[in-house]
Chain A
Amino acid sequence: MNKKTGIFLILPAFIILITIFIGPTIYTIVLSFSSYSFTGVEFSGLSNFSRLFNDPSFWRAFYNTLIFVGVTVPIELFLGFLLALVANKAMKGRSIIRVALLIPWALPTALNALAWRWMYNTDYGLFNSILINLNIIDTPINWLGEIPLAMISMMIVAIWKTSSFMALLILTGLQTIPSELYEAAKIDGATNWQALRKITIPLVRPSIMVSLLFRTGDAFRSFELPYNLTGGGPVNSTETLSVFAYNNFFQYLDFSYSSTIALIQFLLLLGLAIIYLRTLRWDIYE
């Protein structure tokens, strides 16, 4: 097989990628520097950006997104790591634990959000009913109707759902650690805690890295959860950047402004990813 044939063979996939991925990306960038109207697209310089930086709704959405990412991702990482350690233990029922880990993550987020919306319901929801019957509270808790409780409720759903995703990724890393290392450490008289710190964590670091990158990106772009759980309310305390961009595009038909939001979101995420890659080094044998 010569080079020409090779190029010829990847051409279809390449063309499809260009059209469905790169085309819209370029169009988004074009739109964010222009004003879109029925008459056509007109270049408008940085006006969309100056409007964005003076828009309190944008800053609110930005703040909500940062808080959401900043709280959920570390907790998910911690819980995911614990779950992975449990699932990695050679014991009975290990396969059941792994399946149980998969379920929350495999359910579609939108359905999850709707199910949780029912459970959180103040007037006839599952949680209030349990808490009242156990005499833990005497008046129902307004899970989704108070600030900042609505945001906390939303974070709980995210943590429940994606800790298991983190666990699965970290578990794959744990599986690659040779057991001889632990045996050698045991002979040298290392405690479990020392083994965890000196062997497990350094060796599992690449998987942690990957799961952090994936999850931060996902959490930063979270849309289905706020959209279906709270609709961004009460007021706009749970409106994330993605919901803000969506509303501007689909509800207010402000295509240029919405593209600007998406572009800024992309740049922020890119920045985050670079910081990650810099601070959590890929190579484990430093």
Chain B
Amino acid sequence: MALRKFFGLVLVVLFGVVALSGVSVEIGISPREIGAVMDEHISNFEAQNPDIQIEWLKVPGVPGQQHSQYVTLFFGGSDKPDIIAMDIIWPGEFASRGWLAPLNEYFPEEEHAEFIENMIDAAKYEGDVYGVPLYINGLHLYYRKDLLKKYGFTPPNTWEELVEQASYIVEQEKDPNLYGYISMWGKIEGLFMNYLQFFWGKGGEFFDEEGNVVVNSKEGVEALQFMVDMIYEYNLAPESIVTYTPDDARILFQQGRAVFMVVQDFVWPILTASDSIVADKVDFMRVPYFEGYPDTNTVCLGGWLLGININSQHKEEAWKFIEYLTSHEAQLRTAAVTGNLPTRQSVYEDSRLVEQFPVANKQYKDFMVGNVRPSAQLGEKYTQVSEIMQREIQSALLRLKTPQRALDDAVSQINALLR
């Protein structure tokens, strides 16, 4: 016992000495993002920069809970973590609160072009840049290629085709446990993302030319009506879909209980793992559009950025680590290990990417028809607007209101909020 205590003490002293010998930079990022490759990145970076130690603050995997943790830290004026990973919808909100350090001097305008444009737009607030894109993701349409093949269908380009195919397959399979379409329609951010894809696929725009919210337009109402019909008219989506998170949908699909599913790309490695019963039966493609709107961008994009805490005592060193994590080689390695796609355009021209992560280019092609949520325009009001939309969309999905009425109510609440 005494010996163990002694060794413990020695360890503590050693750690103290190590900590004193350099600058310690703390990064807040959840293991769910790029956790599998994080330790490797940290040790490589520390080997290159012996005077900097990286501390990894493992924040919760659910974005909403991460958001809460950061709000608590920033609200209290904490100087740690020095670096935070932000969901694509946060930089505007955090910057408007004065919680992020502007990165203009480290990340000049001419370097922005090296990244995917949508992601850079999300990093800006009132002309300054507050984040560097770490990786990009988006929604895809996952489908059971074995079932489509069995009935001689080619993957659907339009929602009308999808309804026709799914109805036929469900009818022929005669399996009460097989659903035609599933997605994340619980009261979460994902519901708003999923609504937007139908809305965009009708040619809808969230704002008109004057900047008014016009989500209760004809396109908006038709998109919501389509979602309601998915449940009650076509009987393709189960009524329980209003409780689904992305993982709930993924579990059902993995059990072979759905023909089509729309969720983010994090499910691909899980669905194709050797222990998945749909491993060789699943494929994905871009999110469909409605008939007559082939040029609409319907893939709702997401992604993560790295920013620096305004109170950080080590901004220079923090910047060095951000620079490292978003470099060509690091992004390539991240994609190979975790399946999270690079934000640097040059990585896509690198032949090693497809070798190491075969579906990378296929996913990237879907992002070419991608669209972002209206978070940059709404800034700090975005989360609240999204919540209003989630609530009203669910009112229509539960048939408490007509789609027209639900969206009219949503617009009047959003206008009251933005005033």
Contacts and interface: CB of A to CB of B under 8 A. Distances in A.
Interface string A244-263: 00110111111100000000
A146 interface: yes
A246 B383 CA distance: 13
B186 A251 contact: no
A1 B230 CA distance: 78
Contacts of A235: 187, 391, 394-395, 398, 400
B97 A253 contact: yes
Contacts of B387: 247, 251-252
Contacts of A251: 64, 67-68, 383-384, 387
A232 B187 contact: yes
Interface in B59-95: 64, 67-68, 71-72, 75, 93
A253 B98 contact: no
A21 to B, nearest CB: 17
A144 interface: yes
A48 B240 CA distance: 37
B96 interface: yes
A79 B78 CA distance: 47
Given A122-B238, A146-B398, A250-B68, A233 B384 contact: no
Contacts of B383: 251-252
A264 interface: no
A250 B94 CA distance: 12
With a 10 A CB-CB cut-off, give which of A38, A124, A253, A255 has the most chain B CB atoms. A253
Interface residues of B, number: 35
B240 A140 contact: yes
Interface in A105-132: 121-124
A247 B68 CA distance: 9
Given A233-B186, A252-B384, A253-B71, A122 B240 contact: yes
Contacts of B241: 145
B74 to A, nearest CB: 9
Nearest to B386: A251
A234 interface: yes
B345 interface: no
| Interface of A: prevailing SS | loop
A38 B252 contact: no
B306 to A, nearest CB: 21
A231 B72 CA distance: 20
Interface in A153-206: none
A230 B390 CA distance: 14
Contacts of A255: 75
With a 10 A CB-CB cut-off, give which of A123, A142, A230 has the most chain B CB atoms. A123
A88 interface: no
A231 B64 CA distance: 11
B382 to A, nearest CB: 9
Given A234-B187, A235-B394, A38 B68 contact: no
A122 B243 CA distance: 9
A283 B395 CA distance: 50
A232 B251 CA distance: 22
A61 to B, nearest CB: 12
Contacts of A246: 68
A123 B239 CA distance: 10
A66 interface: no
B140 interface: no
Interface string A32-53: 0000001000000000000000
Interface string B172-195: 000001000000001110000000
B147 to A, nearest CB: 18
Interface of A: 38, 121-124, 140, 142, 144-147, 230-236, 246-247, 249-255
Given A142-B243, A234-B243, A249-B71, 20 more contacts: A38-B97, A38-B98, A121-B240, A122-B243, A123-B240, A123-B252, A142-B239, A142-B240, A144-B240, A144-B243, A145-B239, A231-B187, A233-B187, A233-B242, A234-B242, A235-B395, A246-B68, A250-B67, A250-B71, A251-B387
17 contacts: A38-B96, A123-B252, A123-B257, A124-B252, A144-B243, A145-B241, A145-B242, A145-B243, A230-B243, A233-B242, A234-B242, A234-B243, A234-B394, A235-B187, A250-B72, A251-B67, A253-B380
